[in-house]
Amino acid sequence: MGRAFRLSAAALGMALALPGPASAAGPSSKTFRDWIAGCDNLKSCTAMSLPAEIDEHIAFLRLERAAGPNVVPKLVIRVRAEKLAAPLAAELDLDGAPFPAPGRKLPATIGDDENATIALSAADAEALIAAARKATKLTVTIAGKSLDVSLSGSVAALLWIDEQQGRLGTISALIRKGPGETSAAVPALPVIVAKGTAAPAIPDKAAKALTTALRKQLKRLDPDLCEDAPEDAADADSVWPLAGGARLVGLFCSRGAYNVSTGFWIVPGADVGKARKALFPQFDGKIDPNSDNMLVNAGYDPASAQVSFYNKGRGIGDCGASGNYAWTGSAFVMTGFQAMDECKGISGDDWITLFRSEVKVVR
């Protein structure tokens, strides 16, 4: 089923895609049986195998390929298991047959004692992609454990990436090769100028007075807009200086089992009567002007002049959406967006990027 991602920033549940047809016209992701694939605004694409949800220890394949001619795909195997320690190597089998050659082990890089990465060479990656046309399962044996990776859907996922990148029938195609040259142009990387400030942090006493005054003002306008912060989240409200002399105020508004919703307002000085919502454009295969001032698990970083959010689809944080917005001096604009709509044990570091940009911070 094709999906175009749209973040409803106020939602406390799954920050996932609304159903809709996948299209080469804009960033999107799509699930193919046991695989998922997605491309961003630069037509840079990612495909991943999806582990079985019941597996405690997992391995999955992750392919990345940027758009444009002469770009070699990068294929790695991610492993999550207990008690991983260097030096570490893995043996691979395709449907029971050794890969890439009998007796050959591939070195693994340790991230921590539960995560490792096996990088395949360009030749091995090409051989594995070719073998996936007929093979059904890759088995990774590492640290005394055998972990299965389903190849069901891999060919369809890679074919879809070829289509998004204009590679079908070309010499650079992953699946359907031909004599042609890559046809799709590579979009330009958006450059966003974020306005930082050298203003000092707001003193605690002044920040508390401002958040208290803003809450009183909002309750007069809409008593149900934000919940009062509970005792164990009494310090959840925050105030930051913004370029231009305004202040960004973040108020605790609601909390679920694993997500906290924060509302953001821009206040000139301490005049809460002139407070306005800090609006964050949504994402639906493109940056949508429809906006909200609520974000989930969010905070502002003055150094980068950006607000970040991390909306968990469930408690372990293996699905949902995350991203960033930069302050331009007058508004917040999206600078990055990642999402994963399949809850299969894949951490946020490997979620599929659907929007990226270059951010330049000026003061």
| 207's tokens | 């920040």
* Dist. CA 46–CA 351, nearest whole Å: 9
Domain ranges of the chain: 43-164, 191-362
Q: How much is the average pLDDT of 202-218?
A: 96
Please say whether the beta carbons of 300 and 307 come within 8 A: yes
Q: Which of 4-8, 54-58, 358-362 has the highest mean pLDDT?
A: 358-362
Q: pLDDT tens for residues 223-258?
A: 989 998 888 777 899 999 999 899 999 999 999 999
Q: Is the pLDDT of residue 211 over 90?
A: yes
Q: How far is CA 275 from CA 4, 26, 96, in A?
A: 33, 35, 65
Residue 4: band (very low, low, confident or very high) from pLDDT cuts 50, 70, 90: very low
Spatial separation of the C-alpha atoms in residues 291 and 281, rounded to whole Å: 4
Tokens 């991610």 appear where?
78
pLDDT at 199: 93
170-185 pLDDT, tens digit per residue, is 999 999 999 998 877 8
Instruction: Tell me what the mean pLDDT of segment 184-188 comes to.
Output: 89
Token pair in block for residue 188: 């330009």
- CATH architecture, domain defined by 43-164: Sandwich (2.60)
CA distance 25 to 16: 20
**Helix (H) and strand (E) counts in the chain:** 3, 27
Written as six digits, the tokens of 167 are: 């590679």
Of residues 191, 188, 76, 190, the one with CA closest to residue 140: 76
Distances (CA, A) of 148 to 88, 165, 189: 18, 29, 37
Beta bridge partners of 58: 80
Q: What pLDDT score was predicted for residue 283?
A: 87
Among all chains, which residue has been given the structure tokens 């008593």? 223
C-alpha distances in Å from residue 322, one per residue of 119, 213, 332: 26, 30, 16
Task: Report d(CA 102, CA 156) in Å as an integer.
Answer: 28
